[in-house]
Amino acid sequence: MDQILAVRSKIYDQFHGSKAGPEHFFKDANAEVFAAYYTAMYLIADTGESVWAHMQRGFSPNAMSAYIEFWGVMQAIFIQQDAICELHKAVVGSKPQIGSSWSKIRDTRNACAGHPAKRELGVPATQRTFMGRNFGNYTRIQYELWDAEIKRPSHPTFNLEAMIKAYDAEAALILNAVLNALKANWP
């Protein structure tokens, strides 16, 4: 989250150091765009700082607390990604092109959730997953995945810390595009 938070800070400074940007966004015709900018900036900071702080201390040794913390971290990243998209759209005028690290963290969250109640909607049986209470730590998280072909579970693992760091670098590129647009359009 270091890179995301650093670029977000530069965007904030650029916006507040410019007279042209705020004058554009404060016009009544641009109120919705300003609201998107303003809300996205807070959400990016709040989620980034929270995930950063949690990564510094790690998951609780209490399994039930850690379980809720895991889902909180994953949801915070989802919220942050949506906010980055909204910020990009508000300043650049379009949704950003997202990369594989961005998608991987979303796909991992969805895989761990499993959606067992959606079988009738065509979700494959191999998507049945279970996130146990003693799942691990940031560098090694394990979940249970039902393998319909062999009719037994497997236990995939992933390194959430590495995934977050890769996503951080990728998201920072998107935020740099926002910063560059601010500099170009509203110096």
Task: Check residues 115 and 16 and name the one with the higher pLDDT.
Answer: 16
- Percent of residues, the chain, with pLDDT higher than 70: 93
Note the pLDDT tens digit of each residue in 114-125: 765 555 555 555
Segments making up each domain of the chain, as ranges: 2-185
18, 187 contact by CB (below 8 A): yes
